[in-house]
Structure 1
């Protein structure tokens, strides 16, 4: 008697075009814009902030086109790890995968910590631990339902952020031209002190670094491509829109803030999740005479934090699942439920995120700070991996005699794009050390500790598995290509 085999569970291709666009866009709009933009303007002046954010925006555009070429040709939830393994070396892919997973697993902890601080704006005497459990349960619930659950939640989170920025820009422009709030302001704030670029070279590099952190998350579209209904159509569309929306939302928003709030304003240096009242967005709204501005921005920033945690849980879970399928993580982490959700990987990721969060309650939070500092560098390592993987992919594609016209999406400006992005990433990495003035070596070590860890994992795997760089003519350009 023949028995029919039960269908093998697999990831569900449930993301529509609107999900992909908002995942790419939502990943780049968050506390980096709503809060860190104020510190950037205070540190380097409005001109310096514009230069830094424009440069990083250009770098991100090149990285996204590189990722778009890879993700449309080979849509895979393993994304960075898969591309690095195929087109560079298995050892490099192994290190990149674990680096990416760690980065976003610890990000969950960071967002939980931020959310508990933000919620105290309304409930100052409430216990942080209970709020963190509630927020973790919400993130877990959205992810365990299905990929579509994550996609829908991220879509609406992004809508809230986009609507806030658009309203801010409209009000800001009206204030600049004197339609709202009194007389036209002109460029007086740009000419204060040593403006428009303030603080010199190191201030500019520091803001460049902060801008890099702000844009981290745009690369999540590479992971989401593995569950897109039509990655060859949806990914390029989302990629093309990212650059212009980054230009409008970030560059224009910083320009408006710089025009309306002097970079010498003391509140700009105080903006943070524990002080929403001095967010540059709040300051502008209050200057326009809008009541309850702080409360509204608090709600928006809370949604941004939950969005980042939600995305971190989704992305790290999918990469861990993909690595398990490739034999680079325990096989049981590749188990899926009937809805195509890698529940085992989700549980492990959630547990690690929660443990990292709990570290903030012990030993004055020293362990938590180190975990967070180490994860910050991981995002830039991921970007370097995208640039290197794309460069090698394109070279392999040509070396194997394939026609570039057959690529479903082709990144412009190759090889300039990935090379430019790679070099700018290196500048951002070096700039994180803040080597001007008196050097705090403990901070330097905490900042750069993830680099030797990454290299140790990379070369350790290479030695144990006898891994080598894959020759261009041997790169796998056919397996699972859709």
Structure 2
């Protein structure tokens, strides 16, 4: 029986020149391996975890563990689909095939918007780090430098993205590994000049749940959004020489990476430093631990790591948004002009994605408390919407492939279909928890509005094409 092409977005449209309408498989296995390894170490972990610890206390370990299980299930589902039928549009392609064109349009452009707004937020964050070192240089100068540099590197060749992410990931992995080693030694009382704190910080200062279930819920929501961005590795895998194997390796190692980097580091932090210490929020939990242990230059070391994490996320978001836009327009879900490629790179999509990100930066300067805040709220719950579409698409694709092409299922979702339903229920539960908090509730309504507009647009387009 005929099955869908495993790499539809890599095919060149009929009549197009040889260098147009086709992506080049320029990512090497070492690129994908390091992107998969370092991709879980994002700016959310270094920058955003302090607020979660301040809200949940020691129970932030439980929050990250629960959200980590949900993320592992989502990544396993996405890995199953991406290994079976790799595509640069990833879950957008799968949603279009299994649910309908309107679903592909909705989840694709929502993810594109999420990544572009992320580019702006990360550029601003990285520029603030630089301004701390060079206070005489205006913030906008650093924003312009970073935007121009990463836009230019992504315009040149996909291997540039791979190389930058390879070295960024190497630094992040080395930093978090060193932190964990030092932290574990300190917890065990084996670090020279330090005594083991035992369980004093876990049971004191209000106990394991100092702010009750409300604090745990707040920490859970913070931890969920810290995991955002893991999906990019399945997009990148489509531009490797062996996408099926690359996706399989990345997904199969997701469990221990999440447990080690996120849950492990949270456990070290709340064991070594009181959760209510003001330094946990500012300058941040990792700096607080290193300062407590008397590590010289801890603040500056972590500033470098945070800067690298922000630049890494910025680079990955420009790449991921451009590939998502390219895939969407290739499928007739956006402006045709963005479908052209040069040297295997969708340069117009890169420029469009970078331009939107830069526009968001300008909005943050001109209307920081209105338009830019609305933009941030619009994508506040977008990752949860993306995960929900992934779960529904996987339910349908798995059943179809089991009938039509079971040999394509090289990566299989655990406990199908039960764990898929568990993941979907977990996603809906997190969305429900957002309704309990006023700030999160605003984000939820804004995101729901964007999803509704995109879904209606997709349905209208579909009916016009059918007519």
Deviation at 1:145, TM superposition (A): 1.7
Among 415, 426, 429, the residue aligned to 2:428: 426
Q: Secondary structure at the match of 1:412?
A: coil
**How far has the Cα of 1:467 moved from its partner?**
8.8
Match of 1:352 among 340, 348, 356: 356
User: Aligned to 1:54, which of 65, 75, 79?
Assistant: 65
Is the 2:431–2:444 Cα contact (8 Å) retained in structure 1?
no
Deviations 1:369-397 (A, max 9, x none): 11112122112111111111111111222
Structure 1 gaps, min length 5: 272-277, 469-482
Q: Report the counterpart of residue 480 of structure 1 in structure 2.
A: none
Give the structure 2 partner of residue 97 of structure 1.
Answer: 108
Q: Which residue of 1 aligns with 2:24?
A: 12
| Whole-angstrom distance in 1 between the partners of 2:245 and 2:432 | 37
- Report if the CA contact (8 A) 1:54-1:247 is conserved: yes
- Conserved 8 A contact 1:359-1:365: no
Hey, what does 2:10 align to over in structure 1?
Answer: none
Of 197, 216, 220 in structure 1, the residue corresponding to residue 232 of structure 2 is 220
Tell me the CA shift for residue 54 of structure 1.
0.6
Residue in structure 1 matching 2:409, options 407, 410, 433: 407
User: Whole-Å Cα distance in 2 between the matches of residues 20 and 389 of structure 1?
Assistant: 24
Provide, for residues 202-252 of structure 1, a one-character-per-residue CA deviation record: whole Å limited to 9, x for no partner: 221111111111111111122112101101211111111121011011111
- Residue 394 of structure 2: which of 369, 387, 390 is its match? 390
Other-structure match for 2:294: 289
1:375 aligns with 2:372: no
Q: Distance in 2 between matches of 1:404 and 1:358?
A: 49
* Alpha-carbon offset, residue 264 of structure 1: 2.0
Equivalent pair of 1:206/1:434 in contact (CA under 8 Å)? no
Matched, 1:445 2:442: yes
1:60 match: secondary structure: helix
**What residue in structure 1 maps to residue 5 of structure 2?**
none
Under a length normalisation based on structure 1, what TM-score does the superposition of the two structures give? 0.89
TM-aligned CA distance change 1:152 to 1:446, over 3 Å: same
* 1:357-415 Cα shifts (integer Å, max 9, x gaps): 100111344211111121221121111111111111112223xx236355222222211
Q: Determine the structure 1 residue equivalent to 2:3.
A: none
Q: How far apart are residue 34 of structure 1 and its match? A: 1.5
The answer as to 2:329 corresponding to 1:327 is: no
* 1:409-440 deviation line (CA, Å, top 9, x unaligned): 222221123222222222222333443xxx56
For the pair 1:168 / 2:179, whether they are aligned, the reply is: yes
**CA positional deviation for 1:266:** 2.1
- 1:78-477 counterparts in 2 under 5 A? 78-180=89-191, 181-268=193-280, 270-271=281-282, 278-338=283-343, 340-398=344-402, 401-402=403-404, 404=406, 406-435=408-437, 439=438, 444-466=441-463
Name the stretch that deviates more: 12-21 or 132-141.
12-21
**Partners of 2:61 and 2:404 in 1: CA distance:** 41
SS at match of 1:347: helix
RMSD: 1.9
Q: Distance in 2 between matches of 1:123 and 1:225?
A: 38
Counterpart position of 1:471? none
Offset, 1:6: 5.2
How far apart are 1:446 and its partner, in Å?
Answer: 4.3
SS in 1 for 2:241: coil
C-alpha separation between the residues in 1 aligned to 2:412 and 2:168? 30
- The alignment's TM-score, normalised by the length of structure 2, stands at 0.92
Pick closer, same or farther for the CA change 1:460–1:6 going to 2, 3 Å.
closer
* 1:37 alignment partner, SS class: helix
Q: Which residue of 2 is the match for residue 473 of structure 1?
A: none
Q: Which moved more, 1:172-181 or 1:247-256?
A: 172-181
Q: Residues 325 and 405 from structure 1, CA distance in 2 versus in 1: closer, same or farther, beyond 3 angstroms?
A: closer
Structure 2 unmatched runs, 5+: 1-14
In 2, Cα distance between equivalents of 1:406 and 1:341: 28
Q: Which residue of 2 aligns with 1:477?
A: none
Deviations 1:1-58 (A, max 9, x none): xxx9952442111223332233233332122222322322221121x21111111111
Contact 1:24–1:217 (CA under 8 A) maintained in structure 2: no
Is the 8 Å Cα contact of residues 21 and 241 (structure 1) preserved in structure 2?
Answer: no
Output the CA distance in 2 between the equivalents of 1:49 and 1:28.
17
Alpha-carbon distance between aligned partners in 1 of 2:349 and 2:405, rounded to the nearest angstrom: 38
